[in-house]
Amino acid sequence: YIYMGNSFTFGVAELDKLFSPVLKPPSTIVIAGHPGAGKTTLASTICYANALNNNKCLYISFQEDEEKFFTNMKRLGIDFYALKNHGLIKYVSLPLYANIEDIVNEINNIISSGEYRVIAIDSINALLQTSKEDYAKRAWLQNYFYNLPKILNGICILVSELALGEETLKLGAIEFVADAIIVLKHKISSGLITRKIEVRKARSASLHIAEFPFLILEGKGIKVYIPPLLEKVAREGPEIDIACSKLRNILDHLHKGMTIYITYPPDARPLIFIPIFIGLTVLNNLKTHVISYLYPPETIKILIQKSFSDMDINYSIIENILNRFFVFNSINPFTYSVDELLMKELSMVLEYNSDIVIFHGIDILQTVAPKKLYIQSLYNQLNYLKDMGKLVVRLGGMVNEDIYRVNAMLSDVVMRHDIEYRNGAGVYKLYIWRRGIRPHIIQYEEILECCNEIAQKIKSLKLF
């Protein structure tokens, strides 16, 4: 969490970027959702981040004792124990009295004993239930919640339960006076959880996107992914020199922020293109992050070594290159929903902060993911990575013409390996297209010449 002086924050950078005006005090934030959706985690995140900014937080619960609450939150990177030692957080677990006035008096007594700027009540359904049949008391309680942030000159967070299958809050006047209404949703599809945040109301904020995915990660808490606006995506970054003269004559140059799509027959997967991207990495002194859906890191490294087997370059040089310039990760795409996979990949990219990101085995995911959802998520991811200035390389076997066209439309460079037969043996030829130029086809011998040129340049650097 970033220290922000005496201002107020959601504790989630993406929410602050879009919706920070709603936190101008006095402000009421309603966080609603079904059981297990993440309501308490988001309320705790807001409380914790503001307490770190010296805005004392009072967290009132009718459901959980302090020790269990603090322990659960610490697993998510929210250390209330440390804040309590510094007097920045007070957690109160209240019983539900039969008399609503007794509860409100208890809350007022606690507030008067400390200079709190943030209060979270988890959940208000328990309070409203006590006055369910007494409309006068219910109206009085709603008015109390409305005035609470004014008393604090700060933020009031009201956590509200939604019954399973319900979408309507049924909070009465609270919905009208709230400055923001945030609904957390989750659903299970094919055994995988998908989480989304829906912002139904955000006073004083420009609401151009109302729903977006999020994750709850151990040690990191809530991570939100908001697709970038196309008009705000950064321009392409610096030029990257192409490692061999043949490709340079065709493609001229590459930029950080471009997307390269490489495809091949699924039953004849070539290795000959690998040295090209080793050369891009080494000769431009870049860091490359390889994420594979198909093979573990050790297998990827073996395939890279094998791609240089016909070239006059020592294996130890390749091994040193992989250790110095490359990071490898493998993901089983069937353990995540499409949205979660997207966010998992982005969090990995942010963690390693490489210049080039290679996604290997994209055909595996494309054969099973819902087409419309996958294309939407992929489009947003590529724009996000472009905005970060990453050169993206996407590798996968040819699934069908429809998927090929989609991948090509989303790319700046296309490299398609085809097979031609000479004397009964299959030989690769490479179709190349770059945005703004006409397509070219180069033969296997020219690809091999390119790879040998790269190998000699790497040797001449005497890096190791």
Q: What is the pLDDT of residue 259?
A: 96
| Residues pairing with 184 in the sheet | 33, 197
In which residue are the tokens 């009421």 written?
28
Q: Residue 170: left (phi > 0), alpha (psi -120 to 50), or beta? A: left
Residue 291, pLDDT score: 96
What residues form DSSP beta bridges with 441? 431
Identify the pLDDT of residue 392: 96
Q: How far apart are CA 57 and CA 157, in angstroms?
A: 10
Q: Phi, psi (5° rounding) for residue 280? A: -55, -45
Q: How high is the pLDDT of residue 184? A: 94
| Residues in contact with 307: Cβ distance below 8 Å, sequence separation at least 6, in sequence order | 271, 272, 274, 275, 278, 451
Start-to-end Cα distance in the chain: 40
Three-class SS of the chain = CCCCCCCCCCCCHHHHHHHHHHHCCCEEEEEEECCCCCHHHHHHHHHHHHHHCCCCEEEEECCCCHHHHHHHHHCCCCCHHHHHHCCCEEEEECCCCCCHHHHHHHHHHHHHCCCCCEEEEECHHHHHHHCCCCHHHHHHHHHHHHHHHHHHCCEEEEEEECCCCCCCCCCCHHHHHCCEEEEEEEEEECCEEEEEEEEEEECCCCCCCCEEEEEEECCCEEEECCCCCHHHCCCCCCEECCCCHHHHHHHCCEECCCEEEEEECCCCCCCCCHHHHHHHHHHCCCCEEEEECCCCHHHHHHHHHHHCCCCCCCHHHHHHHHHHHEEEEECCHHHCCHHHHHHHHHHHHHHHCCCEEEEECHHHHHCCCCHHHHHHHHHHHHHHHHHCCCEEEEEEECCCHHHHHHHHHCCCEEEEEEEEEECCEEEEEEEEEECCCCCEEEEHHHHHHHHHHHHHHHHHHCCC
Q: pLDDT tens digits for the chain (464 residues)? A: 444 445 899 999 889 988 888 999 999 999 999 888 999 999 999 999 999 999 999 999 988 899 999 999 999 999 999 999 999 999 999 887 657 788 888 889 999 888 899 999 998 887 777 666 677 877 888 888 888 999 999 999 999 988 877 777 877 778 888 999 999 998 876 667 788 899 999 988 877 778 888 889 889 899 888 877 666 677 788 899 888 999 999 998 899 999 999 999 999 888 988 999 999 999 999 999 999 999 999 999 999 999 998 888 888 889 999 999 999 999 998 888 888 888 888 888 988 999 999 999 999 888 877 788 788 888 888 988 998 899 999 999 998 999 999 999 999 999 999 988 888 788 889 999 999 899 999 998 899 999 999 999 988 887 66
Pick the CATH number of 232-461 from 3.30.450.20, 3.30.450.40, 3.40.50.300, 3.30.300.20: 3.40.50.300
d(CA 261, CA 413): 6
Cis amide leading into 26 (omega within 30): yes
pLDDT attached to residue 183? 94
Count CB neighbours of 257 within 10 A: 22
Tell me, what's the pLDDT at 1? 46
How many Cβ atoms from other residues are within 10 Å of residue 274's Cβ? Answer: 20
For residues 450 and 247, is the Cβ–Cβ distance under 8 A?
Answer: yes
> How is residue 54 written in tokens?
């010296």
Give the pLDDT of residue 138: 76
Q: For residue 182, what pLDDT is reported?
A: 94
CATH placement of domain 13-226 = 3.40.50.300
pLDDT for res 186: 85
Task: Report how far residue 210's alpha carbon sits from residue 190's, in angstroms, rounded to the nearest whole number.
Answer: 25
The predicted structure's pLDDT at residue 83: 95
- The model's pTM: 0.77
At residue 104, the pLDDT reads 87
Q: Residues spanned by CATH 3.40.50.300 within the chain?
A: 13-226, 232-461
Report the C-alpha gap between 196 and 183 in whole angstroms. 8
